[in-house]
Amino acid sequence: MSIFNIKNLQCIRRDNILFQGLNFDLEQGGLLQIDGVNGSGKSSLLQMCVGLIQASEGSINWNGVNIKESRYQFQSDMTYFGHSNGVKAELTARENMKVMHALSGDKSDIDYSSILKQIGLAGLEDVLLSRMSAGQKRRVGLSRIFMTQSKLWLLDEPFNALDKNGKKIIEQLIVKHCTAGGMVIFATHQTMEIDGYPLQHIHLGNET
């Protein structure tokens, strides 16, 4: 049974306390949305959850072990998709996907074309990302969650720059992943249309 939980987490950025005393548990199939106004610490929370930023107080645990102590075990169970797409403009879609796939540690054969088709980029395998639009680049970046075997996904504003159709594809994938026992934590302002799948919420910032 995989569990991701955080205990008494505190975040201080530039001498401001963004949040403190934050607790939550996420079990298999859990879907958690983080919302809050700009600057309330959504991205910081996600970056803490993946271990990019150290928490000033509190602990983050994966299967009962602090993620600091089992970094590579945690990182192989986890996929993070941040604010920036993490793809190279001078590489083609296929080359970018190859690198992402290799870094994820998954060794199965993957048909890159069929994934591109699923995310609405059919036939763009060999196009440089510098020739693509912002939304198309975002989609190539998001293709990593199609290629990973990891249980836990942490997505920071995944719907940014995506059109309605793109948003829907990602929503469906998230629900599918959770239904299969995966876990997803994501930050967004937008309303999720997930057909009644139970959604947990964390609200950061002032309650007003």
Partner 1 sequence: MNEYLNIFFVILRRDLTLAFRNKSEFINPLMFFVIIIILFPLAFGSDSALLKQLTSGIIWISALLATCLSLEAIFRSDFEDGSIEQLTLARYPLTLLVSAKVTAHWLTFGLPLIIVALLTGLVLSVPSQTMLALLITLLLGTPVLSLIGAITVALTIGLRGGMLLSLLILPLYMPVLIFSMLAVQNATVGQSIAAEIYFLSGILVLAITLAPITTAAALRIRLS
Applying CB under 8 A, the site for partner 1 has a residue count of 29
> Does residue 50 interact with partner 1 by CB under 8 A?
yes
Query: Residue 201 Cβ, how far from partner 1 at the closest point, in Å?
Result: 25
Residues in the chain: 208
C-alpha span between 122 and 128 (Å, rounded)? 14
79: its two tokens: 């996929």
Query: Residue 104 Cβ, how far from partner 1 at the closest point, in Å?
Result: 6
Q: By C-beta, is 14 or 107 nearer to partner 1?
A: 107
> Does residue 134 interact with partner 1 by CB under 8 A?
no
Query: Residue 21 Cβ, how far from partner 1 at the closest point, in Å?
Result: 21
By CB under 8 A, the residues from 58 to 117 that bind partner 1 are 72, 75-76, 78, 80, 82-91, 95, 98-100, 102-105, 107
> Bridge partners of 90?
none
| Residue whose C-alpha is closest to residue 61's, from 21, 141, 4 | 4
Residue 111's contacts (CB-CB under 8 Å, 6 or more residues apart) are none
154-172 in b/e burial notation, b at 16+ Cβ within 10 A? bbbbbbebbeeebbebbbe
> Does residue 126 interact with partner 1 by CB under 8 A?
no
- By the criterion CB under 8 A, which residues form the site for partner 1? 50-54, 72, 75-76, 78, 80, 82-91, 95, 98-100, 102-105, 107
